[in-house]
Structure 1
Amino acid sequence: MIAHICNDLGGWGKGFVVAISRRWPQPERDYRDWHRHRAGNDFALGATRLVRVTPDVWVANMVGQRGIRTGSGGPPIRYDAVERCLTSLADQAQALGASVHMPRIGCGLAGGTWNRMEPVIERTLCARHRRDGVRPRVTAPRTGSRSRWDAAPGGRSRSHPQREASDAQGHRT
């Protein structure tokens, strides 16, 4: 699974989603349709929707951003919504036997900080990994101090040794 944050306005076209759309058109089409028909579905902050793009790869569109601009209410990121998204994603990943891969969600255009986002990931995906085997992997370059989720030098992602052993067992992405 490849997880990323979406806004609640139906806007798609900047940041990480550009790379997703270049590779697979389905996630953008599904997100726009999900938003267009929101009166009759679950589209809202905190909702997660999986889009299958290959037989063993899903993209998780997670609505964790209110609007697209920083204003009087602060940055667009909504950590509580992201926590609900990641909790749901952990359930779905476990059901599919999938690992979860993501950029540093919420820390780009959404205006969030890694110091606030990392504990959310720890409480949801990482706690689930320790308990049920859901394997998160955050891979993206960043500046400043490193955490265990940072990309290693040379573009390779660093991960926990237990996840390396799990990944070698052939689990789906």
Structure 2
Amino acid sequence: MTGITYVRGDATAPQGKGVKVIAHVCNDLGGWGKGFVVAISRRWPEPEAAYRRWHRERARNDFGLGAVQFVQVGRYVWVANMVGQRGMRTGGKGVPPVRYEAIDVALGAVADKAVELGGSVHMPRIGCGLAGGTWSRVEPLIEARLAARGVPVTVYDHGA
């Protein structure tokens, strides 16, 4: 029995009542412009601006693999920019940019925030798009870090 609900829909329009945290994976290069982040930027400018500022000022903050930046975009909606991929391209040895360990650490911080806010977490299949990860490796991280703590999680598969 999984503690994750799967729905068809848009993770930038999270379903349900109460506080919602939208979690997604970013790279460690400061790049924002492909994949799920495009949908986020279409809806709210703040997460992209905050991420770019966070990267630009990284010498003075915690920006890096495993770090999370929380950006409030509405009274009940937060976006969690999770740094969970090294670079943007598959490496010379066929290693994709996804970093499962970083996603795991970041999900721990997302769980803490969701518990603090009394909220739920919403996401696409994080780390499995441009980052090149596999859901069979990501799903157990979500179950261990979020569902095991009683945090409701909804994963959105885009499409009809």
What TM-score comes out, normalization by structure 1 length? 0.78
> Which of 131, 143, 154 pairs up with 1:137?
154
> Which of 125, 132, 142 pairs up with 2:146?
125
Q: CA deviation at 1:52?
A: 0.3
Match of 1:16 in 2: 36
Identical columns (%): 67
Distance 1:125 1:73 in 2: 30
C-alpha distance after superposition, 1:87-140 (max 9, x if no partner): 0100000001110000000000000001111111111111111xxxx1111111
Question: Are 1:114 and 2:135 matched, yes or no?
Answer: yes
Question: Are 1:83 and 2:68 matched, yes or no?
Answer: no
C-alpha distance after superposition, 1:46-69 (max 9, x if no partner): 001110001110000000000000
Match of 1:149 in 2: none
Which of 1 and 2 has higher RCO (CA within 8 Å, sep 6+)? 2
Distance 1:114 1:14 in 2: 19
Q: Which runs of 4+ in 1 moved over 4 A?
A: none
Equivalent position amino acid for 2:139 in 1: E
Distance 1:73 1:48 in 2: 27
Greater Rg by CA: 1
Match of 1:96 in 2: 117
What TM-score comes out, normalization by structure 2 length? 0.84
Which secondary structure does the structure 1 equivalent of 2:73 belong to?
strand
Match of 1:160 in 2: none
More helix by share: 1
Match of 1:39 in 2: 59
Q: Structure 2 regions of 5+ residues with no counterpart? A: 1-20
Equivalent position amino acid for 1:2 in 2: I
Q: How many residues align?
A: 139
Which secondary structure does the structure 2 equivalent of 1:138 belong to?
strand
Distance of aligned partners of 1:85 and 1:73 in 2 relative to their CA distance in 1, 3 Å threshold: farther
Query: 1:133-172 residue pairs with structure 2 within 5 A?
Result: 134-141=151-158, 155=160
Q: CA deviation at 1:73?
A: 6.5
Match of 1:67 in 2: 87
